[in-house]
Amino acid sequence: MKFLDQVKIYIKAGNGGDGSPSFRREKFIEFGGPDGGDGGSGGSVILRSEQNLNTLIDYRYQQHHKAKRGDNGAGQNRTGKGGDDLVLKVPLGTQVFEEDNKTLIYDFTKIGEEFVAATGGKGGLGNTRFKSSTNRAPRKFTKGTLGEEFIIWLQLKTIADIGIIGLPNAGKSSLLAAITNANPKIANYQFTTLNPNLGVASYDDKEVTIADIPGLVEGAHKGTGLGIQFLKHIERCKSLLHMIDITNDDLKKSYKQVKNELKNYSSKISKKRELIVLNKIDLVDEKEKNKIVENFSKNIKSEVITLSTLEKKSISKIKAKLISYVS
Protein backbone atom coordinates (compact mmCIF):
# COMPACT_ATOMS: atom_id res chain seq x y z
CA MET A 1 0.00 0.00 0.00
CA LYS A 2 1.36 3.42 -0.94
CA PHE A 3 1.89 5.97 1.80
CA LEU A 4 0.32 9.43 1.72
CA ASP A 5 0.25 11.73 4.73
CA GLN A 6 -1.35 14.90 3.32
CA VAL A 7 -4.30 15.46 1.01
CA LYS A 8 -6.82 18.17 0.10
CA ILE A 9 -10.45 17.13 -0.35
CA TYR A 10 -13.81 18.75 -1.08
CA ILE A 11 -16.75 17.75 1.13
CA LYS A 12 -20.43 18.59 0.65
CA ALA A 13 -23.22 17.74 3.05
CA GLY A 14 -26.63 16.90 1.62
CA ASN A 15 -29.24 19.60 1.09
CA GLY A 16 -32.50 19.39 2.99
CA GLY A 17 -35.60 18.24 1.10
CA ASP A 18 -38.35 20.72 0.26
CA GLY A 19 -41.62 20.88 2.14
CA SER A 20 -44.80 19.86 0.29
CA PRO A 21 -47.67 22.27 -0.63
CA SER A 22 -50.16 19.38 -0.88
CA PHE A 23 -53.93 19.48 -0.12
CA ARG A 24 -56.28 16.61 0.68
CA ARG A 25 -58.06 15.30 -2.37
CA GLU A 26 -60.23 12.45 -1.04
CA LYS A 27 -63.59 11.78 -2.65
CA PHE A 28 -66.62 13.42 -1.03
CA ILE A 29 -64.39 15.82 0.95
CA GLU A 30 -65.15 19.12 -0.67
CA PHE A 31 -62.79 21.35 1.26
CA GLY A 32 -59.75 19.19 1.99
CA GLY A 33 -57.24 21.00 4.12
CA PRO A 34 -53.46 21.15 3.72
CA ASP A 35 -51.59 17.89 4.23
CA GLY A 36 -48.08 18.65 2.94
CA GLY A 37 -45.30 16.97 4.91
CA ASP A 38 -41.87 18.35 5.79
CA GLY A 39 -38.73 17.64 3.80
CA GLY A 40 -36.07 15.31 5.17
CA SER A 41 -32.76 16.57 6.51
CA GLY A 42 -29.64 16.20 4.37
CA GLY A 43 -26.91 13.79 5.34
CA SER A 44 -23.78 15.07 7.08
CA VAL A 45 -20.14 14.32 6.25
CA ILE A 46 -18.50 12.60 9.22
CA LEU A 47 -14.82 11.74 9.69
CA ARG A 48 -14.05 8.68 11.82
CA SER A 49 -10.65 7.40 13.01
CA GLU A 50 -9.97 3.72 12.30
CA GLN A 51 -7.51 1.26 13.83
CA ASN A 52 -6.25 -0.51 10.72
CA LEU A 53 -5.44 2.49 8.52
CA ASN A 54 -2.01 4.12 8.25
CA THR A 55 -2.25 6.17 5.05
CA LEU A 56 -4.50 8.72 3.34
CA ILE A 57 -3.88 7.25 -0.11
CA ASP A 58 -7.60 6.56 -0.74
CA TYR A 59 -8.28 10.29 -0.86
CA ARG A 60 -5.68 10.92 -3.53
CA TYR A 61 -7.84 9.33 -6.21
CA GLN A 62 -11.23 10.44 -4.92
CA GLN A 63 -11.18 14.03 -3.71
CA HIS A 64 -14.87 14.98 -3.93
CA HIS A 65 -17.21 13.56 -1.30
CA LYS A 66 -20.92 14.34 -1.09
CA ALA A 67 -23.55 13.12 1.37
CA LYS A 68 -27.10 12.29 0.25
CA ARG A 69 -29.84 14.90 -0.12
CA GLY A 70 -32.98 14.68 1.97
CA ASP A 71 -36.18 13.65 0.15
CA ASN A 72 -38.99 16.13 -0.40
CA GLY A 73 -42.10 16.00 1.75
CA ALA A 74 -45.30 14.55 0.31
CA GLY A 75 -49.08 14.63 0.74
CA GLN A 76 -50.88 12.89 3.60
CA ASN A 77 -48.38 14.59 5.95
CA ARG A 78 -45.56 12.32 4.84
CA THR A 79 -42.13 13.57 5.87
CA GLY A 80 -39.32 13.05 3.37
CA LYS A 81 -36.63 10.51 4.18
CA GLY A 82 -33.46 11.98 5.62
CA GLY A 83 -30.28 11.70 3.54
CA ASP A 84 -27.72 9.13 4.68
CA ASP A 85 -24.63 10.44 6.41
CA LEU A 86 -21.33 9.96 4.57
CA VAL A 87 -18.64 8.48 6.85
CA LEU A 88 -15.04 8.98 5.73
CA LYS A 89 -12.51 6.75 7.48
CA VAL A 90 -9.14 8.24 8.42
CA PRO A 91 -6.08 6.85 10.24
CA LEU A 92 -5.45 7.54 13.90
CA GLY A 93 -3.33 10.68 14.15
CA THR A 94 -5.08 12.53 11.32
CA GLN A 95 -5.43 16.27 11.73
CA VAL A 96 -8.11 18.28 9.93
CA PHE A 97 -7.22 21.76 8.68
CA GLU A 98 -9.20 24.51 6.97
CA GLU A 99 -8.55 25.39 3.33
CA ASP A 100 -5.51 27.49 4.29
CA ASN A 101 -3.84 24.30 5.59
CA LYS A 102 -2.86 26.18 8.76
CA THR A 103 -5.98 26.47 10.91
CA LEU A 104 -6.47 23.24 12.85
CA ILE A 105 -10.11 22.15 13.14
CA TYR A 106 -9.83 18.70 14.70
CA ASP A 107 -7.21 16.20 15.81
CA PHE A 108 -7.92 12.45 15.96
CA THR A 109 -6.03 11.01 18.95
CA LYS A 110 -8.27 8.04 19.83
CA ILE A 111 -9.70 5.13 17.87
CA GLY A 112 -13.38 5.48 16.95
CA GLU A 113 -13.54 9.26 17.34
CA GLU A 114 -16.03 11.03 15.08
CA PHE A 115 -16.05 14.60 13.82
CA VAL A 116 -18.90 16.16 11.84
CA ALA A 117 -16.97 18.03 9.18
CA ALA A 118 -20.03 19.29 7.26
CA THR A 119 -23.59 19.40 8.60
CA GLY A 120 -26.53 18.48 6.39
CA GLY A 121 -29.21 21.04 5.52
CA LYS A 122 -32.52 21.13 7.38
CA GLY A 123 -35.68 19.95 5.66
CA GLY A 124 -38.23 22.52 4.49
CA LEU A 125 -41.67 22.89 6.09
CA GLY A 126 -44.83 21.58 4.45
CA ASN A 127 -47.92 23.75 4.14
CA THR A 128 -49.58 21.94 7.07
CA ARG A 129 -47.20 23.87 9.33
CA PHE A 130 -48.73 27.16 8.23
CA LYS A 131 -52.40 26.31 8.86
CA SER A 132 -54.08 28.65 11.35
CA SER A 133 -57.52 29.80 12.42
CA THR A 134 -57.33 32.64 9.94
CA ASN A 135 -55.63 30.76 7.12
CA ARG A 136 -57.34 27.40 6.62
CA ALA A 137 -55.77 26.67 3.23
CA PRO A 138 -52.18 27.92 3.23
CA ARG A 139 -50.19 27.43 0.08
CA LYS A 140 -46.99 28.46 1.77
CA PHE A 141 -44.16 25.98 2.18
CA THR A 142 -40.40 26.31 2.50
CA LYS A 143 -37.49 24.77 0.67
CA GLY A 144 -34.78 22.82 2.41
CA THR A 145 -31.61 24.62 3.41
CA LEU A 146 -28.28 23.91 1.75
CA GLY A 147 -25.82 21.52 3.32
CA GLU A 148 -22.41 22.86 4.33
CA GLU A 149 -19.54 22.50 1.88
CA PHE A 150 -15.84 22.99 2.49
CA ILE A 151 -12.39 22.33 1.15
CA ILE A 152 -10.30 20.80 3.93
CA TRP A 153 -6.82 19.36 4.34
CA LEU A 154 -6.11 16.06 6.04
CA GLN A 155 -2.64 15.64 7.53
CA LEU A 156 -1.42 12.44 9.12
CA LYS A 157 0.96 12.51 12.07
CA THR A 158 1.78 8.99 13.14
CA ILE A 159 1.07 8.21 16.79
CA ALA A 160 3.64 5.82 18.27
CA ASP A 161 5.26 5.24 21.66
CA ILE A 162 8.79 5.09 20.28
CA GLY A 163 10.23 6.76 17.18
CA ILE A 164 13.38 5.25 15.67
CA ILE A 165 15.69 7.92 14.26
CA GLY A 166 19.19 7.94 12.80
CA LEU A 167 21.23 8.33 9.66
CA PRO A 168 20.36 6.28 6.56
CA ASN A 169 21.46 2.63 6.69
CA ALA A 170 21.90 2.61 10.49
CA GLY A 171 19.78 -0.53 10.80
CA LYS A 172 16.49 1.04 11.89
CA SER A 173 14.31 -1.14 9.66
CA SER A 174 16.21 -4.28 10.68
CA LEU A 175 15.48 -3.51 14.32
CA LEU A 176 11.80 -2.86 13.62
CA ALA A 177 11.53 -6.17 11.77
CA ALA A 178 13.34 -8.04 14.56
CA ILE A 179 11.28 -6.79 17.51
CA THR A 180 7.82 -6.22 15.98
CA ASN A 181 5.30 -7.71 13.56
CA ALA A 182 6.22 -5.18 10.84
CA ASN A 183 7.80 -6.17 7.52
CA PRO A 184 9.74 -3.12 6.32
CA LYS A 185 11.98 -3.20 3.26
CA ILE A 186 15.57 -3.97 4.27
CA ALA A 187 18.64 -3.53 2.04
CA ASN A 188 22.24 -2.40 2.27
CA TYR A 189 21.83 1.05 0.72
CA GLN A 190 20.71 4.48 1.84
CA PHE A 191 17.03 5.43 1.94
CA THR A 192 15.75 1.88 1.81
CA THR A 193 12.93 3.23 3.98
CA LEU A 194 10.92 5.78 1.99
CA ASN A 195 7.86 5.88 4.29
CA PRO A 196 7.31 5.60 8.04
CA ASN A 197 6.75 2.00 9.14
CA LEU A 198 4.77 1.02 12.22
CA GLY A 199 5.09 -2.11 14.33
CA VAL A 200 4.04 -3.39 17.74
CA ALA A 201 6.54 -5.05 20.09
CA SER A 202 5.28 -7.31 22.89
CA TYR A 203 7.22 -8.10 26.05
CA ASP A 204 6.05 -9.35 29.44
CA ASP A 205 2.36 -8.91 28.50
CA LYS A 206 2.96 -5.29 27.55
CA GLU A 207 2.92 -3.67 24.13
CA VAL A 208 4.79 -0.73 22.66
CA THR A 209 4.13 0.86 19.26
CA ILE A 210 7.26 1.71 17.29
CA ALA A 211 7.68 3.93 14.23
CA ASP A 212 10.66 3.66 11.88
CA ILE A 213 11.34 7.05 10.25
CA PRO A 214 13.33 7.44 6.99
CA GLY A 215 16.97 8.32 7.59
CA LEU A 216 17.88 11.92 8.38
CA VAL A 217 20.71 13.58 6.48
CA GLU A 218 22.31 16.97 6.98
CA GLY A 219 19.84 19.70 6.01
CA ALA A 220 16.80 17.46 6.51
CA HIS A 221 14.94 20.26 8.34
CA LYS A 222 15.24 22.35 5.15
CA GLY A 223 14.04 19.61 2.83
CA THR A 224 17.25 17.73 2.01
CA GLY A 225 16.78 13.99 1.55
CA LEU A 226 13.48 12.66 2.89
CA GLY A 227 13.68 14.03 6.42
CA ILE A 228 11.45 17.09 6.47
CA GLN A 229 8.62 15.15 4.87
CA PHE A 230 8.52 12.74 7.80
CA LEU A 231 9.94 14.59 10.80
CA LYS A 232 6.38 15.46 11.81
CA HIS A 233 5.71 11.77 12.39
CA ILE A 234 7.90 11.74 15.51
CA GLU A 235 6.31 14.84 17.06
CA ARG A 236 3.84 12.68 18.98
CA CYS A 237 6.22 9.88 20.03
CA LYS A 238 6.74 9.61 23.78
CA SER A 239 10.43 8.73 23.42
CA LEU A 240 13.07 8.42 20.70
CA LEU A 241 15.40 5.55 19.91
CA HIS A 242 18.49 7.02 18.28
CA MET A 243 20.25 4.31 16.29
CA ILE A 244 23.88 4.67 15.23
CA ASP A 245 26.06 2.28 13.24
CA ILE A 246 28.95 1.41 15.58
CA THR A 247 31.27 1.02 12.58
CA ASN A 248 30.96 4.71 11.66
CA ASP A 249 34.27 6.59 11.69
CA ASP A 250 32.98 9.36 13.97
CA LEU A 251 30.05 8.32 16.17
CA LYS A 252 29.70 11.65 17.94
CA LYS A 253 29.57 13.50 14.64
CA SER A 254 26.83 11.14 13.42
CA TYR A 255 24.94 11.63 16.68
CA LYS A 256 25.19 15.44 16.65
CA GLN A 257 24.18 15.63 13.00
CA VAL A 258 20.83 13.98 13.69
CA LYS A 259 20.31 15.92 16.93
CA ASN A 260 20.92 19.21 15.10
CA GLU A 261 18.31 18.33 12.49
CA LEU A 262 15.77 17.60 15.22
CA LYS A 263 16.59 20.83 17.04
CA ASN A 264 16.36 22.93 13.88
CA TYR A 265 13.00 21.38 13.03
CA SER A 266 11.50 21.57 16.52
CA SER A 267 13.08 22.24 19.89
CA LYS A 268 10.25 20.24 21.45
CA ILE A 269 11.29 17.08 19.56
CA SER A 270 14.95 17.49 20.46
CA LYS A 271 14.05 17.50 24.16
CA LYS A 272 12.21 14.18 24.11
CA ARG A 273 13.50 11.31 26.22
CA GLU A 274 16.11 9.42 24.21
CA LEU A 275 17.73 5.99 24.16
CA ILE A 276 20.92 5.70 22.10
CA VAL A 277 21.55 2.32 20.49
CA LEU A 278 24.92 1.47 18.95
CA ASN A 279 24.01 -1.12 16.34
CA LYS A 280 25.91 -3.81 14.39
CA ILE A 281 28.18 -4.87 17.26
CA ASP A 282 28.54 -8.23 15.50
CA LEU A 283 30.93 -6.44 13.10
CA VAL A 284 33.48 -5.54 15.83
CA ASP A 285 35.21 -7.61 18.52
CA GLU A 286 34.39 -7.29 22.21
CA LYS A 287 37.48 -5.28 23.14
CA GLU A 288 36.97 -2.76 20.36
CA LYS A 289 33.26 -2.49 21.17
CA ASN A 290 33.94 -1.62 24.82
CA LYS A 291 36.47 1.02 23.82
CA ILE A 292 34.08 2.63 21.31
CA VAL A 293 31.21 2.70 23.82
CA GLU A 294 33.43 4.20 26.52
CA ASN A 295 34.70 6.98 24.27
CA PHE A 296 31.28 7.76 22.84
CA SER A 297 29.49 7.85 26.21
CA LYS A 298 31.65 10.65 27.58
CA ASN A 299 29.58 13.83 27.98
CA ILE A 300 26.48 12.08 26.58
CA LYS A 301 23.50 12.53 28.91
CA SER A 302 21.24 9.91 27.30
CA GLU A 303 21.47 6.19 28.08
CA VAL A 304 23.68 4.23 25.66
CA ILE A 305 23.27 0.51 24.93
CA THR A 306 24.65 -1.82 22.25
CA LEU A 307 22.77 -4.14 19.92
CA SER A 308 22.99 -6.68 17.15
CA THR A 309 19.73 -7.45 15.39
CA LEU A 310 21.17 -10.90 14.61
CA GLU A 311 21.35 -11.92 18.29
CA LYS A 312 18.23 -13.08 20.12
CA LYS A 313 19.68 -11.99 23.45
CA SER A 314 20.04 -8.44 22.14
CA ILE A 315 16.45 -8.43 20.90
CA SER A 316 15.01 -9.45 24.29
CA LYS A 317 17.20 -6.85 25.95
CA ILE A 318 16.04 -4.00 23.73
CA LYS A 319 12.36 -4.99 24.11
CA ALA A 320 12.57 -4.82 27.90
CA LYS A 321 14.36 -1.48 27.68
CA LEU A 322 11.76 0.06 25.35
CA ILE A 323 8.90 -0.93 27.65
CA SER A 324 10.56 1.07 30.42
CA TYR A 325 10.74 4.12 28.14
CA VAL A 326 6.96 4.33 27.68
CA SER A 327 5.70 3.29 31.11
Separation of first and last alpha carbons in the chain = 32
Q: What is the mean pLDDT of residues 95-101?
A: 95
Taking alpha carbons only, the member of 241, 176, 233 closest to residue 4 is: 233
Q: Per residue in 148-169, pLDDT tens?
A: 999 999 998 877 889 888 888 7
Who's near 104: CB < 8 A, 6+ residues apart? 95, 96, 97
Cβ neighbours around 117 below 10 Å, total: 22
Where does the pLDDT of residue 209 fall: very low under 50, low under 70, confident under 90, or very high at 90 and above? Answer: confident
How many residues are present in the chain?
A: 327
> 223-262, pLDDT tens digit by residue?
444 545 667 778 888 899 999 999 988 899 889 988 888 8
Mean pLDDT of 35-49: 97
Cβ neighbors of 193 (< 8 A, separation 6 or more) are: 172, 173, 184, 185, 212, 213, 214, 215
- Confidence grade of residue 64 (pLDDT, cut at 50, 70, 90): very high
| CATH topology for the 162-324 domain | Rossmann fold (3.40.50)
pTM of the model: 0.74
Cα dihedral 251, 252, 255, 258, rounded to 10, equals -110
pLDDT number for residue 215: 66
Domain(s) of CATH 3.40.50.300: residues in the chain: 162-324
According to CATH, where is 2.70.210.12 located in the chain? Answer: 1-156
> How far is 85 from 68, CA to CA, in rounded Å?
7
Contact 80, 71 (CB under 8 A): yes
Domain 1-156 adopts which CATH fold? Spo0b-associated Gtp-binding Protein; Chain: A, (2.70.210)
Strands (E) located in the chain: 6-12, 45-50, 64-66, 86-91, 94-97, 104-107, 114-118, 149-156, 162-166, 197-203, 206-212, 239-245, 273-279, 303-306
